[in-house]
Amino acid sequence: MVTSSAPGKVYLFGEHAVVYGEPAVPCAIERRARVTVTERADDRIRVHAEDLSLDGFTVEYGSDAGGTPDVNVSESVVEAGVRYVDAAVEQARDAADAPSAGFDVDVESEIPLGAGLGSSAAVVSAAIDAATRELGVELDEAELADRAYRAEFDAQDGEASRADTYCVTVGGAVRVEGDDCRSIEAPDLPLVVGFDGGSGDTGELVAGVRRLREEYDFAADTVETVGDLVRSGEDALAAGDLEELGRLMNFNHGLLAALGVSSRSLDSMVWAARDADALGAKLTGAGGGGCIVALDPTDETETALAFTPGCEDAFRAELDREGVRVEAA
């Protein structure tokens, strides 16, 4: 039995545009998904998921029969969970040259699902790490990040960049542009997260931006503008200029809203943060619902979000400089 964990993440800048080759800067936060993998004697997979914001589910499946879910959450959550674990198991089997290895997989997550905090990337990366170790193989960080990307790519029908999976695998702040992924220096950031209790469908949201970009030149220009903004954001990050970072986050939220991926609750939380004098605020991740991230060294934003209709949870999120790690073996 091996347990590995990986952190969630927020995007300081660049989600969606990163899918079209623009740079993005996500950073890992101190909220983790823990995945425990135990090899089975047969080739079946049993997934049990326990999420702090959900009731959880158990499903078992394999070569000889369909799944038999013991379900108390929505079918789409089970389907999504199983799709990601399945893709991770395939990567682990391939890496360890064990095509018919079976596993019990237990997922415990402090990261709300599909809410822009990298839950699927964290589960996939931790699952591949734990499953390969359980089969006696230890992957280096680069291969783990690559395999996690390929698993997410498969599970999301090709609509994925390397940003989420690279960030949660290596931890800290990272810069991703196409296949070029690297860690970057970042000061401690006073991040506050607001969560509306909902989630967006990443595949659908990415496809929506793709359609807009194909239809309107100015949508394609907006995506490129996000890229320019990210480059300015990198300079502000390197200089530790939090005020400039905040201004650029506000700008980035406006561009994401123009691309149609914000929502009423995300906009309300962003405005509540701004009214509370946050240095900046934006949605994080695919959008459509889920989380915003604000920059505020004071308690004002957290307090304001707690009283904002449509905000279910607000919390401070420290930058996590550690990526995937083994919790128990």
Residue closer to ligand MEV by CB (options 36, 284) is: 284
Q: Cβ distance 127 to 156 under 8 Å?
A: no
Candidates 12-20, 167-175, 216-224, 268-276; binding stretch for ligand MEV (CB under 6 A): 12-20
Determine the residue type at 180: D
| Spatial distance between the Cα atoms of 125 and 33, rounded to a whole number of angstroms | 10
Candidates 44-52, 100-108, 159-167, 227-235; binding stretch for ligand MEV (CB under 6 A): 159-167
Residue closer to ligand MEV by CB (options 178, 297) is: 178
160-166 long-range contacts (CB < 8 A, ≥24 apart) are: 160/19, 160/202, 161/18, 161/19, 161/24, 163/11, 163/14, 163/15, 163/18, 163/24, 163/26, 164/9, 164/26, 164/118, 164/120, 164/121, 165/121, 165/124, 165/125
Residue closer to ligand MEV by CB (options 16, 133) is: 16
Helices within 65-118 (DSSP H only) = 75-95
Smallest distance, Å, CB 252 to ligand MEV? 12
Candidates 14-22, 58-66, 97-105, 188-196; binding stretch for ligand MEV (CB under 6 A): 14-22
Among 19, 255, 279, 293, binds ligand MEV (CB under 6 A): 19
> Exposed, middle or buried by CB within 10 Å (0-12, 13-18, 19+), for 187?
middle
What mask, x for binding ligand MEV by CB under 6 A, covers residues 67 to 106? ----------------------------------------
Among 5, 12, 16, 59, binds ligand MEV (CB under 6 A): 16
User: Which strands make up the sheet holding 291-295, listed edge to edge?
Assistant: 280-283, 291-295, 191-195, 313-317
Q: Specify whether 154 is catalytic.
A: no
Record the tokens describing residue 256, joined without a space: 């994401």
| Spatial distance between the Cα atoms of 62 and 130, rounded to a whole number of angstroms | 20
Could you give the dihedral angle defined by the CA atoms of residues 142, 146, 147 and 150, in that order, rounded to the nearest 10 degrees? 180
What mask, x for binding ligand MEV by CB under 6 A, covers residues 248 to 287? -------------------------------------xx-
| Three-class SS state of 279 | coil
Tell me which of 86, 106, 154, 164 is the catalytic residue.
Answer: 164
What mask, x for binding ligand MEV by CB under 6 A, covers residues 285 to 314? xx----------------------------
Among 202, 222, 250, 262, binds ligand MEV (CB under 6 A): 202
160 contacts ligand MEV (rule: CB under 6 A): yes
15 contacts ligand MEV (rule: CB under 6 A): yes
Smallest distance, Å, CB 287 to ligand MEV? 7
125 contacts ligand MEV (rule: CB under 6 A): no
3-state helix, strand, coil in the chain (%, to 5): 40, 25, 35
Phi, psi of 163 (to 5 degrees): -60, -55
The residues annotated as belonging to the active site are 164
Q: Which residues bind ligand MEV (CB under 6 A)?
A: 15-16, 18-19, 160-161, 163-164, 202, 206, 285-286
